[in-house]
Amino acid sequence: MGPRLQQEVFSSWDKLGASFEKTASRNVVVNDKHPLVVTFDAYQETLTKIAHLRAAQQEILEGIEQLVHFERSVNQHYGEVVR
């Protein structure tokens, strides 16, 4: 929880949780224009993008590892043939 939110709205995580529970128990529709909701949405989108980038990075690293293995295998094979 950011300092501004803690100083101006909630003084603890427990009070933030209680507010969520109170709001949820009323079956209230979330205000998707609220700055906290907008910020959280952007945050979760960023986390999703980072996860996708990490998966792509892992796939690339595995591909490079396969190419290196293939190159070694070819060099080893042709090295033995030339001898």
- The full 3-state SS of the chain, as one line of letters, equals CCHHHHHHCCCCHHHHHHHHHHHHHCCCCCCCCCHHHHHHHHHHHHHHHHHHHHHHHHHHHHHHHHHHHHHHHHHHHHHHHHC
Residues 5 and 22 in one domain: yes
pLDDT tens for residues 6-64? 666 677 778 777 877 777 677 777 788 888 888 889 999 999 999 999 999 999 999 99
Q: Does the pLDDT value for residue 82 go beyond 80? A: no
Average confidence (pLDDT) over 58-83: 86
Do 46 and 62 lie in one domain? The reply is yes
Structural domain of 18: 1-30
Same domain, 23 and 49: no
Do 36 and 63 sit in the same domain of this protein? yes
Judgement on whether residues 40 and 74 belong to the same structural domain of the protein: yes
